[in-house]
Each structure stands twice: as C-alpha cells, then as structure tokens.
C-alpha cells in the first residue's frame, strides 16, 4: 500500500477453495499472498482448469512450506512460489525474492539490511551446516525494523536477547550458499533416545506420500525413549477407506526411506482436520500439550 498498490481482500465466512480460485481467475490480481495451509488446499484441486491471466508473483509465509506443495504449485500453474520468514518483532528477515534461486524447503536469504545468523548457546555464530538458533545481530544502534521491547514485561524482553543478538525462538541451519533452513521452534524440536529431530523434516517426508493432505509432527511421551515422534495426519479422499494399520506401516516405511530411519513417527493418528490459528498456522503447541496431558 505504501507503493500505491491496490490490495484485494476477499472476505469469506469460511474458506472455500472453489470461490478462492474463481476469484483469482476473475479479477486482475498480480500478486498472491497466502499461508502454506491455503496453498496445501489449492494444490488438491485441478489448477490447470483455471487461467490466472494476470498473476505474476506468489508469496507465502507464517510457517514453513513443504517442498512437495511448492513443486505441485509450480507444475500446475507454472508460477514460482516464494517464501518469506519473519515475525511481528522483526518484520520480514529472510525471503526468496524475485530473481533468486528457489531452493524448495528453504526460507531464502537474509533481506537487507537484516544481519541474520545461526548462533550457539553462547552467542557465537556457527558455520554453514551447523544447527543452532536463528538470530538477528544487533548493531551499535538498534536496527530500525526490530521491536524495542515487550510492554510491561522486561523479563520476556531479556529472555530473547543473547549477547549482541535477538533470538527468534526458532532453530535452523544455514547452507554454504547463505540460504536458511527451518528446523523447528526451539520448543518443537523432539529429543528421542539422544537424537534431536526437527518436526518439519518429518512432515516434509510425509507430505511426499499421496495419502497425506496435511500433517503436524510433535513429541509424545514414551517410557523408554523419553519422547517419540508422533504424526497427526489428514488423509486425502482416496485413502480414507484404507485399513489404518496397514497405512500407518506404509507411511512409516516411506519416512524411513526419505530421511534418517530413526526419525520416522512411531505413533500416527489420523484426524479430520488440524487445529489452526485464525491466520491458518497449524497449532502444534495445542497438539503437543494434548499428548503430554497439559490440556
């Protein structure tokens, strides 16, 4: 809006993919901004039936986008899907912008003038390939885009600072090309039998299977391992009549082939839908709290 653009907002009492797609093909919309949840729902449709004559740029954010969804969107529409990563406290700090190489599953590179780094528990920057905390460097003067404080909560404000860095609360990895990869919220990372497992990698593997429309991976208590990986799965229509025990084994085997075998979900629960925020983010904390008897 600050650049004189026209913003099209279509209010629906309940999200409807058909109405959404009809609107997108009817009006001269050039840029589509929506959550990964919306794109996951859209790629279930036959998008080649629609003509998005004016659409040029597609953006998503709010939570990580599964590579499988990005690739399906590109195949069906011919349009790239660009990810953006940020918070209320920071604004957008990483993105795959126009002209950038898109690496499916990556949140892109830092957006100037943000200095984004992966740091360890002592506030030291980590080299490419090492998992750590995603943080924004604080210069001698506080960056103009960074929030100043949590109102009336100095303890919370202090908790998100580590040395010369602001902590996003997310874990990630930077590759040798400077692209950042999301591992999970710091409190979402699952530690089982001494292994650290990021839920997003397991979710990505599950999303590659045709039976899976949506999934959320959380920790679940286990008397031997302390905690194990549990996947909540929304099934696609053709698989809803499958024998659940056999399908669980099939999904577990699929994850073992797609990633390190120890990361497979030892527990799988099929659900009709996943709990979400009003903006479409999956509420993993609610699922995790339910597993641990905190609700």
According to DSSP, the residues that pair with 1 across neighbouring strands are none
Alpha-carbon Rg of the chain, whole angstroms?
20
For 102-135, the pLDDT digits (tens) are: 999 999 999 988 899 999 999 999 999 999 999 9
Mean pLDDT for all residues in the chain: 92
Give every residue of the chain whose pLDDT is below 50, as ranges: 1
* Cis ω before 74 (30° cut-off from 0): no
First-to-final CA distance of the chain: 41
- Domains present along the chain, CATH in parentheses: 1-79 (3.40.50.980), 187-291 (3.30.300.30)
Tell how strand 267-270 and strand 195-197 pair up: unpaired
Q: What is the pLDDT of residue 259?
A: 93
d(CA 170, CA 286): 18
Q: What is the pLDDT of residue 186?
A: 84
pLDDT at position 295 is 66
Pairing verdict, β 190-192 and 195-197: antiparallel
């Amino acid at each position: 809006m600050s650049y004189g653009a026209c913003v099209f907002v279509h209010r629906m009492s309940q999200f409807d993919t058909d109405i959404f797609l009809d609107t997108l093909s009817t009006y001269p919309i050039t840029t589509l901004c929506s959550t990964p949840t919306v794109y996951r729902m859209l790629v279930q449709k036959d998008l080649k039936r629609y003509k998005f004559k004016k659409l040029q740029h597609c953006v998503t954010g709010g939570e990580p986008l599964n590579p499988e969804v990005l690739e399906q969107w590109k195949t069906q529409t011919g349009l790239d899907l660009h990810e953006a990563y940020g918070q209320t406290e920071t604004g957008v700090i990483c993105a795959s912008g126009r002209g950038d190489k898109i690496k499916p599953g990556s949140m892109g590179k830092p957006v100037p003038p943000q200095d984004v780094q992966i740091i360890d528990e002592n506030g030291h920057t980590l080299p490419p390939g090492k998992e750590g905390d995603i943080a924004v460097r604080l210069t001698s003067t506080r960056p103009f885009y960074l929030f100043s404080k949590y109102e009336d909560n100095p303890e919370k404000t202090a908790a998100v600072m580590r040395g010369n860095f602001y902590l996003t609360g997310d874990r990630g990895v930077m590759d040798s090309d400077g692209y950042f990869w999301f591992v999970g919220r710091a409190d979402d990372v699952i530690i089982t039998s001494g292994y650290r497992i990021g839920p997003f990698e397991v979710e990505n593997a599950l999303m590659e299977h045709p039976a899976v429309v949506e999934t959320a991976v959380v920790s679940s208590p286990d008397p031997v391992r302390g905690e194990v990986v549990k996947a909540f799965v929304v099934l696609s229509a053709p698989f809803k009549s499958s024998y659940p025990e056999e399908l669980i084994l099939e999904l577990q085997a699929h994850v073992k082939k797609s990633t390190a075998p120890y990361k497979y979900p030892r527990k799988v629960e099929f659900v009709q839908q996943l709990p979400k925020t009003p903006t479409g983010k999956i509420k993993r904390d609610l699922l995790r709290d339910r597993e641990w008897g905190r609700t």
